[in-house]
Structure 1
Amino acid sequence: MGVPQATDPRDDPPRAPAFTVFTPTYDRAHTLQRVRDSLAAQTFRDFEWVVVDDGSRDGTRALVSGWAASADFAIRYFWQPNAGKAAATNRGVREARGELFLIADSDDAFPAHALERFWHHWRAIPEGERHRFSGVTALCGDERGELIGDPFPRDPLDAGWWDIHYRYALRGEKWGFHRTSAFREFPFPVQHGTRHVPEEVVWRAISRRYVTRHVNELLRIYHRGGEDQLTRTSPRGWTRFRAWYAQRLYEDRAWLTVAPLELLKLAIHYARFSFLAGDPVRTQVAPLATPPLKLLWAAASPVGLVLSWRDRARESAAARRSAGQAAGSAARGGAGPSGG
């Protein structure tokens, strides 16, 4: 009989943590410290931090690598050519080792008990029922600790995306995690040349199959004015989403009598982006398959047209400012000492 061979523990695959905290970033080295400090302070330590750098040029790699060398929690850094937040999120999901996937944007902060409370609420769902749930969502506050948006009508509230947005008409920032397996089941539909995909595409897809537990605890600190370049874009760059708004209008048409103002807002944005894309009226009306949707578009289109005019004016003003700055830089660069 052979002698059993000893195995090196270093050869074993790493144990899966409870949470993957995921941060997509692009040229946000000046704000990433908030996320890092929040994670370092967590009372619940069973997590990893996955950072996907979407082509930064501001020293993000060196910054995160330095943290990874000294942190007492796992930090895993991945760089990719700039492709947008949706593609970065898909990459983060592929690399995740955690059971639960929590997105912390590059300027987020959260209290020291955030992961502990999320874990508590997840484990509070009876094990025999947990397969029906994708995750847990909590509330957000601003830097002063004041609630942003509406609280949930009861705690806990087990509901889907449509209930939250239409039946309860809740507004404001919310924050939560989903099971990593749910994100892998419903990735962002990134196609060649598509950089910006509305997050609702994934939230709605997950909600068709799973329910989410909602709790009235403030677990994220939102810093106003921290717009991320991963999501920043001109209005004209979003015209591809006119098809998305048409799809939403069709899929959500049954909620028209419950939340008519919300459907009207969708119709306004559909008209807005259609006008920006140069679609004539006939083209705009064609995807609207039912008479109520056509009437809704008729009511919304004047507002959508005005918004498209405003978008074009803002874009033109931005282009003029950019051209003026470029001309000023060229003039300063071309100036030299006078000949004698």
Structure 2
Amino acid sequence: MTRTEVLRQYLNPNITGIRFYPESIIWDKMGEKYLTRYINEPLRILYSDQVNATTVKNVNNRYRENYYLWRHILNDLRKYVFNEPLMFAKASIGVMRDGLLSGRRYGQIFRDVESFPCRILVILGSPLAWMLAKKTK
């Protein structure tokens, strides 16, 4: 549960061409400012009796949306690189793969990655990202 006034401070940006904005970006930014408390009690039990967007894992054609998530990891969560090196390796490959699949050029992808060390990671992961993008097309 989150206070309404806090949620209003972190609205989804209005970006044309994407179907949704990754929620984890907003939750990460909110977590930098506000204390989070966890409880070990179920507050809600969901019953799934039919196939819907929640129950089906359709990751196809989410390249534009995932691009923002990978970029967020590389730009905003850099301080956790030594805690989660695998996440940064995935993000460095993912930002290039999903960037290419969503129609971005190499130069634009490199400019969107703000720090030099993360750009180096993206360069190192580019051959694999390019092969994965070609395989996906």
TM-score by length of 2: 0.73
Distance 1:192 1:286, change over 3 A: closer
Match of 2:79 among 254, 259, 272: 254
Paired residues for 1:215-226 under 5 Å: 215-221=39-45, 223=48, 226=51
Contact 1:285 1:294 survives alignment (8 Å): yes
Q: Following the alignment from structure 2 to structure 1, what is the Cα–Cα distance between the partners of residues 130 and 59?
A: 17
SS in 2 for 1:246: helix
The aligned amino acid for 1:200 is S
Ranked by relative contact order (alpha carbons within 8 Å, sequence separation 6 or more), the top structure is 2
1:311 has 2:136 as partner: yes
Q: Give 2:125's aligned residue.
A: 300
1:213 has 2:37 as partner: yes
Distance 1:291 1:206, change over 3 A: closer
Bigger radius of gyration = 1
SS in 1 for 2:40: strand
Unaligned runs of 5+ in 1: 1-176, 313-340
Greater percentage in strand: 1
Contact 1:188 1:201 survives alignment (8 Å): no
Distance 1:262 1:193, change over 3 A: closer
Greater percentage in helix: 2
Distance 1:191 1:262, change over 3 A: closer
- Identical aligned residues as a percent: 23
Q: Deviations over 1:130-149 (max 9, x none)?
A: xxxxxxxxxxxxxxxxxxxx
The aligned amino acid for 1:180 is T
The aligned amino acid for 1:303 is L
Following superposition, the deviation at residue 293 of structure 1 comes to 0.7
TM-score by length of 1: 0.34
* Cα root mean square deviation, aligned: 3.2
Distance 1:286 1:228, change over 3 A: same
Q: Give 1:290's aligned residue.
A: 115
Q: Give 2:64's aligned residue.
A: 239
